[in-house]
């Protein structure tokens, strides 16, 4: 390997200023190459759309055994659905898909829509509210908590635990170190759960039933339960928060969605493309592989930069423009292929319900400056004050 | 061009059917049905899009 010929960078992708707005840094990296060696991490960032998508579609070469960007957490994740490769992965996945797949969640649609209408009605009537804590976080939290069937004593801790679970998937920095203590606390609690602690008929109970039926090993129950609980909250929360923020910033785009509700699914895809809640996950190369002319050695840590691929001008024209008519169904935000987000049907259902309820009532949202929430992996907002609501006219 | 579904992977998202309604649809149970496994030439671009948008890489065109 000749360093002068290999695209490389000294940037710290996880420094606060980069997390605040990673897109200029992503562009610099994309212009260096589809694969860029990051000196600080001794890891390879895949930066362009085709490179990220290609790696997601090739689990044989890009193993999920390094889905986190540090080894202690990768060791913790051995045997989980997130970090497993086929065939082990497929068994765990099928247990989740039974309850989370589109066929299963169709029956939830009416209830989720009703709950979204009620919550939106309530916050809009107040006129002033926090679009994150009162709406974007409150809704998925309530829906997902009930679907998993978790006991109430987890309520005060669940969001803190979920946030930490994503933080520790970053490199070994201060955020990861702090998150590890919180994740340990979560696992100590989750490990005490027995089948009878989960609501009858819930998704959580179904995991224990799969173990009783011999589909999965009993020791897989707790990690699957933790995966449900953490992956189903912060992701959807940040997606809805980012959506409210983007539509408040781009009233012309909001008008388009309001004028034609059929645009809503495509518009939500554009929200997901524009600000991916999960910005990065890792992989490990199982062999030497050429990515857009750059040779990555075997056994290398790779970063899949979803947020960069989604803004790749080689794939999306004028990528920094928020345009709901683009309807980019092939964005990278849910991943793709073997590990494609198992909860995406439910996430879409929740987001369409909340945004649809807002679109039916609200002409304009007047918001303050968002307070960003910094996390190694997630891109989201901690707080977004709504100062005023102009109702339908 | 011929379309094939990996039934173990297909979870029924239906994005393919949205892209190429002339080639496939979801039945009442949400199972994907290929109406034309052998893709008529005028629909080959739609078939490729359908393959491309599958979230779990369950649809193939060869």
Q: What is the pLDDT of residue A4?
A: 54
Q: CA B30 to CA B14: how far, in whole Å?
A: 8
For the stretch B10-62, pLDDT in tens is 999 999 999 999 999 999 999 999 999 999 999 999 999 999 999 999 999 99
Tokens of A227: 């995966």
Helices (H), A62-191: 71-76, 88-100, 102-105, 109-126, 138-148, 158-167, 174-190
Q: CB A103 to CB B29 under 8 A?
A: yes
Q: How far is B55 from chain A (nearest CA, A)?
A: 5
Q: CB B13 to CB A345 under 8 A?
A: yes
Is A217:A74 a contact under the CB 8 Å cutoff?
no
Q: CB A341 to CB B8 under 8 A?
A: no
Q: What is the pLDDT of residue A228?
A: 86
Q: CB A103 to CB B13 under 8 A?
A: no
A158 occurs within a structural domain = yes
Q: Which residues of B touch A81 (CB under 8 A)?
A: none
Model confidence band, residue A393 (pLDDT cutoffs 50, 70, 90): low
Q: Which residues of B touch A102 (CB under 8 A)?
A: 11-14, 30
Q: Which residues of B touch A340 (CB under 8 A)?
A: 55-57
Q: Average pLDDT in the A312-340 region?
A: 97
Instruction: Find the largest Cα–Cα distance for chain B.
Output: 29
Q: Cβ of A360: how many Cβ atoms within 10 Å?
A: 12
For the stretch A133-157, pLDDT in tens is 999 999 999 999 999 999 999 999 9
Model confidence band, residue A2 (pLDDT cutoffs 50, 70, 90): very low
Just give the CATH number of B3-61.
Answer: 3.30.70.20
A116 occurs within a structural domain = yes
Q: CB A338 to CB B56 under 8 A?
A: yes
List the one residue out of A299, A301, A269 whose CA is nearest residue A282.
A301
For the stretch A117-131, pLDDT in tens is 999 999 999 999 999
Q: Average pLDDT in the A363-378 region?
A: 96
For the stretch A343-358, pLDDT in tens is 999 999 999 999 999 9
Q: Which residues of B touch A330 (CB under 8 A)?
A: 52-53
Q: Which residues of B touch A105 (CB under 8 A)?
A: none
Q: CB B15 to CB A329 under 8 A?
A: yes
Radius of gyration for the alpha carbons in chain B, expressed in angstroms and rounded? 10
Interface ipTM: 0.90
Average pLDDT, chain A: 95
Residue A262 has pLDDT above 50, yes or no: yes
Model confidence band, residue A39 (pLDDT cutoffs 50, 70, 90): very high
A226 occurs within a structural domain = yes
Q: How far is B41 from chain A (nearest CA, A)?
A: 23
Q: Which long-range contacts (CB under 8 A, 24 or more apart) does A14-19 make?
A: A14/A170, A14/A171, A14/A173, A14/A175, A14/A376, A16/A374, A19/A372, A19/A374, A19/A375, A19/A376, A19/A379
A94 occurs within a structural domain = yes
Q: Which residues of B touch A106 (CB under 8 A)?
A: 30
Q: Residue B30 is nearest to which of A57, A106, A336, comparing CB atoms?
A: A106
Q: Which residues of B touch A345 (CB under 8 A)?
A: 11, 13
Q: Which residues of A touch B13 (CB under 8 A)?
A: 102, 344-345
Q: CA A219 to CA A201: how far, in whole Å?
A: 21
Q: CA B12 to CA A344: how far, in whole Å?
A: 12
Sort residue B30 into left (φ over 0), alpha (ψ -120 to 50) or beta.
left
A46 occurs within a structural domain = yes
Measured between CA atoms, the residue of chain B closest to residue A53 is B52
Is A48:A34 a contact under the CB 8 Å cutoff?
yes
Q: Interface of chain B against chain A, CB under 8 Å? A: 8, 11-15, 18-19, 29-31, 52-53, 55-57
Measured between CA atoms, the residue of chain B closest to residue A334 is B55
Can you give the CATH number for the domain in which A311 is found? 1.10.630.10
- The span from the first CA to the last CA of chain A, in angstroms, equals 64
A1 occurs within a structural domain = no
Q: How far is B43 from chain A (nearest CA, A)?
A: 19
Select the residue from A104, A329, A334, A349 to test the B interface by mutation, using most B Cβ atoms within 10 A.
A329
Q: Interface of chain A against chain B, CB under 8 Å? A: 57, 90, 97, 101-103, 106, 329-330, 334, 336-338, 340-341, 344-345
């Amino acid at each position: 390997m000749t360093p002068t010929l290999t695209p490389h960078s000294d940037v710290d992708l996880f420094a606060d200023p980069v997390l605040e707005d990673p897109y200029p840094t992503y562009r610099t990296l994309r212009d260096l190459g589809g694969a860029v060696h990051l000196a600080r991490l001794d890891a390879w960032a895949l930066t362009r759309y085709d490179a990220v998508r290609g790696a997601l579609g090739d689990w044989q070469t890009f193993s999920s055994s390094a889905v986190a960007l540090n080894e202690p957490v990768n060791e913790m994740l051995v045997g989980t659905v997130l970090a497993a490769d086929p065939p082990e992965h497929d068994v765990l996945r099928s247990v989740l898909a039974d309850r989370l797949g589109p066929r299963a969640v169709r029956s939830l649609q009416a209830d989720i829509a009703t709950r979204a209408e009620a919550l939106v009605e309530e916050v809009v009537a107040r006129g002033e509210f926090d679009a994150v804590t009162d709406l974007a976080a409150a809704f998925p939290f309530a829906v997902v908590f009930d679907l998993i069937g978790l006991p109430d004593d987890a309520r005060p801790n669940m969001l803190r635990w979920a946030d930490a679970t994503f933080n520790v998937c970053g490199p070994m920095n201060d955020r990861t170190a702090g998150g590890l203590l919180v994740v340990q606390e979560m696992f100590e609690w989750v490990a005490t759960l027995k089948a009878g602690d989960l609501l009858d008929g819930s998704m959580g109970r179904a995991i224990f039933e799969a173990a009783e039926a011999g589909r999965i090993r009993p020791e897989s129950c707790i990690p699957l339960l933790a995966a449900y609980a953490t992956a189903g909250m912060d992701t959807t929360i940040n997606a809805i928060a980012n959506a409210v923020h983007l539509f408040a910033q781009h009233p012309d785009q909001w008008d388009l969605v309001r004028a034609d509700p059929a645009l809503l699914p495509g518009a939500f895809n554009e929200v997901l493309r524009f600000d991916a809640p999960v910005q990065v996950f890792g992989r490990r190369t199982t062999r030497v592989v050429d990515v857009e002319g750059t040779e990555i050695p075997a056994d290398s840590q790779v970063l899949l930069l979803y947020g960069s691929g989604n803004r790749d001008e080689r794939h999306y024209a004028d990528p920094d423009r928020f345009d709901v008519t683009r309807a980019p169904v092939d964005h990278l935000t849910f991943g793709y292929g073997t590990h494609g987000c198992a909860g995406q049907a439910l996430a879409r259902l929740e987001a369409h319900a909340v945004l649809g309820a807002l679109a039916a009532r609200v002409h304009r949202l007047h918001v303050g400056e968002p307070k960003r929430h910094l996390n190694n992996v997630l891109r989201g907002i901690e707080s977004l004050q709504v100062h005023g609501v102009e109702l339908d006219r | 061009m011929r379309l094939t579904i990996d039934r173990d992977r297909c979870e029924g998202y239906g994005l393919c059917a949205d892209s190429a309604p002339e080639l496939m649809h979801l039945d009442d149970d949400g199972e994907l049905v290929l109406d034309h496994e052998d893709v008529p030439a005028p629909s080959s671009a739609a078939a490729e899009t359908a393959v491309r948008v599958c979230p779990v890489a369950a649809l193939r065109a060869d």
